Amino acid sequence: MNIASFLLPKAEVAYLRDDMTLRQGLEKLRRSGFSAIPVIDIEDRYVGVVGVGDFLWNILAYNQNLENITLKNLEHTCVRDFLQNGKVKPACIDTPMENLLERAKNQNFVPVIDDRNVFIGIVTRSDIIKYFTDKARLNTKES
């Protein structure tokens, strides 16, 4: 079974644009309630994932004097400036569920792209675990 039936579409997913300022990205991440979210470019291509730690380390790196950190100071850096590309690899829409299990050990979701690298949504770790739990129960019943 491929991941298309488990896809949470982009329209229902919190994500950032890589040209957002650090401040805009941090505010959107906070509103989302998640610890990490996908990042896409102006053409909707997947470019990576950014998390709370990425924001924190960037704020500290560019603001050596912690007393001077203001929201205004956070408008000089874009998300693309501190994004760690390649850290979270996306899956193609036709990827089998079995290939997502390894990725789900280390991240809460797997970004999904089409054949043009356009971000189309995510598959959550909970959906991956549910798939394999249901599959194991079915196999147990058949035995």
- The predicted-structure confidence for 25-74, as pLDDT tens digits, reads as follows 989 999 999 999 999 999 999 999 999 988 888 777 766 655 666 667 67
Domains of the chain, by residue range, sit at 3-142
Q: Which two tokens stand for residue 104?
A: 């789900």
Report the alpha-carbon distance of residue 9 to residue 7 in Å, rounded.
6
Instruction: For residue 86, name the pLDDT band (cuts at 50, 70, 90).
Output: confident
Give the pTM: 0.86
How far is Cα of residue 68 from the mean position of the Cα atoms in its chain? 30
Which amino acid, one-letter code, is at 103? Answer: R
CATH topology of domain 3-142: CBS-domain (3.10.580)
Do 47 and 83 touch, CB atoms closer than 8 A? Answer: yes
The residue count of the chain comes to 143
